Chain A
């Protein structure tokens, strides 16, 4: 299980990368592993507003559909549409398979560092 140290994490298992003008959001390696093989991804569209701690996407495995929560409030400026046809990219490399990029951020959740998140996951286990 990988916990990349250049990223921040949420309790709902998303990762966030602060890139200055915008943030990039995806799901953690732990999350993809727990979900199992993903077969379908539902993403928002460019220009959609996302709200902190509210659902912005969902992923479906052969077991279940799971909601993905936004760690920030802002506007979607780019969507990784490649995931729509190839959800397996998330299983292959959760950190490269980003979901959306968000700018015009007005609010953000409390994030965890990789170290804190690793401890959080260990506790959840």
Chain B
């Protein structure tokens, strides 16, 4: 039942304090003529409404959440403690900098840490999410080419295994996309890349967007050659930080030849993810791109921290300094782990993924099976579908009955019937063993009773949803009487 349906005329509660400043009456042309449709409810009923909704949802605090490429690691409580400190919550972005030195220090120290992890020189914290970071990074690359008078560089190369947001961000940034097919190992086809860059099109190439390790959980062994080819034709190389959790503290995008990166603090650095947001997608770059960064960056002047506008800044990507409290949480995480802990987190993320892959290989086919994967791996259920009629979707729904959030489905697009599993480092061996047992059980069930899986889930608040109907005829608004 929606909160609007529970609303009753005249009910309410005193959540908002009485107004303690003079009421300002806006001019009639700017004021609302009809009252807002706000639900009218007692506080206890609001509490119950949201508690019931929370009970119907599944978060990483409820159970295993191996959603590939999303890095659903546990978010430590201590992050919330620091981010709730009134010294951080009771500040205003426009108050004098003298009174904000601690907050500036958070930005500066986080930037230093992220530079050390990625091999970049400067970071902006304005972008509020991963795709927002991609868009920012591409605008940086665009600004760089324009400043060099390279107005013809309008094409971005994106491999077919990339996240869908990559080509979308490129188009948003006014570029056109060259989609390149992966080779049979699921990595960048170096020869095809060379053909494009060394051919006629080379002088039109603005850059390449790449995730490494890629969406199949494989570290591209040719990465140095790839970045060299792009630089050779005058392009820039963008690192999509979606999969940084596999390599942080171990290998650096900057050393691989990348010119700029975005990181998802809400993935890799344990701040809440998705609907629990807000997120943060800070963008880092090497020195030659730093003068184009958006917003303000911190600098030390006469023993104090100040904000400085980069000389050829591309403008503002978001107001002020992005989602600042998310940065506080990420810095807490980095400080709690330290340099060794950061590397150990990645090592354990890779170990957990390999443990699950090795155990599941007996039953499930692994896509691009290279014995060792990075932080995630992709199962290809095409054979199971052919033999039993049970699809990746059916197995995913079956997992819900066991309190496990499904892996990412039908992605990457290069694998049919894909289930992409990313356990992350924060799961115990017992949790992994249980998930492996459940997945093996569902595999056997596909042969013995496929119908049971077609109808799954059976124990959730709602059973199989009509996804096609919802997509074809979406109801997006509550219709008030």
Contact = CB atoms under 8 A, between A and B. Distances in A.
Nearest to A91: B468
A39 B468 contact: yes
Interface residues of A, number: 11
Given A62-B467, A63-B410, A64-B410, A39 B164 contact: no
Contacts, number: 18
B371 interface: no
The main secondary structure of chain A at its interface with chain B is mixed
Nearest to B386: A125
Contacts of A65: 164
A21 B416 CA distance: 39
Contacts of B467: 62
Interface residues of B, number: 10
Interface in B386-445: 409-411, 413, 416
Contacts of B54: none
B92 interface: no
Q: Identify the interface centre among A40, A63, A64: most chain B CB within 10 Å of its CB.
A: A63
B410 A87 contact: no
B48 interface: no
Interface in A53-93: 60, 62-65, 87-88
Contacts of B409: 63
A88 B472 contact: yes
B1 interface: no
A39 B410 contact: no
B268 to A, nearest CB: 26
A37 B468 contact: yes
Nearest to B471: A39
A64 B468 CA distance: 12
A62 B468 contact: yes
Interface string A77-111: 00000000001100000000000000000000000
A64 B414 CA distance: 11
Contacts of B471: 39-40, 60, 62
Nearest to B392: A63
Contacts of A37: 468
Nearest to B467: A62
Contacts of A87: 472
A64 B161 CA distance: 13
Nearest to B468: A37
Contacts of B411: 64
B413 A64 contact: yes
Contacts of A63: 409-410
Interface in B272-326: none
B155 to A, nearest CB: 14
Interface string B458-481: 000000000110011000000000
B391 to A, nearest CB: 9
A88 B164 CA distance: 24
Nearest to A85: B472
Contacts of B468: 37, 39, 62
Interface in A25-57: 34, 37, 39-40
Contacts of B413: 64
A88 B411 CA distance: 23
Contacts of B472: 39, 87-88
Q: Identify the interface centre among B409, B411, B413, B468: most chain A CB within 10 Å of its CB.
A: B468
A29 B237 CA distance: 40
Nearest to A88: B472
Contacts of B410: 63-64
Nearest to B417: A63
Interface in B370-384: none
Contacts of A62: 467-468, 471
A37 to B, nearest CB: 4
A85 to B, nearest CB: 9
Nearest to B179: A67
Contacts of A34: 416
A64 B410 CA distance: 8
Nearest to B413: A64
A34 B385 CA distance: 12
B94 to A, nearest CB: 43
Q: Identify the interface centre among B409, B413, B416, B472: most chain A CB within 10 Å of its CB.
A: B472
14 contacts: A34-B416, A39-B468, A39-B471, A39-B472, A40-B471, A60-B471, A62-B467, A62-B471, A63-B409, A63-B410, A64-B410, A64-B413, A87-B472, A88-B472
Given A40-B471, A63-B410, 7 more contacts: A37-B468, A39-B468, A39-B471, A39-B472, A62-B471, A64-B413, A65-B164
Interface of B: 164, 409-411, 413, 416, 467-468, 471-472
Top 7 A-B pairs, shortest CB-CB distance: A39-B471, A63-B410, A37-B468, A62-B467, A39-B472, A64-B413, A62-B471
Interface of A: 34, 37, 39-40, 60, 62-65, 87-88
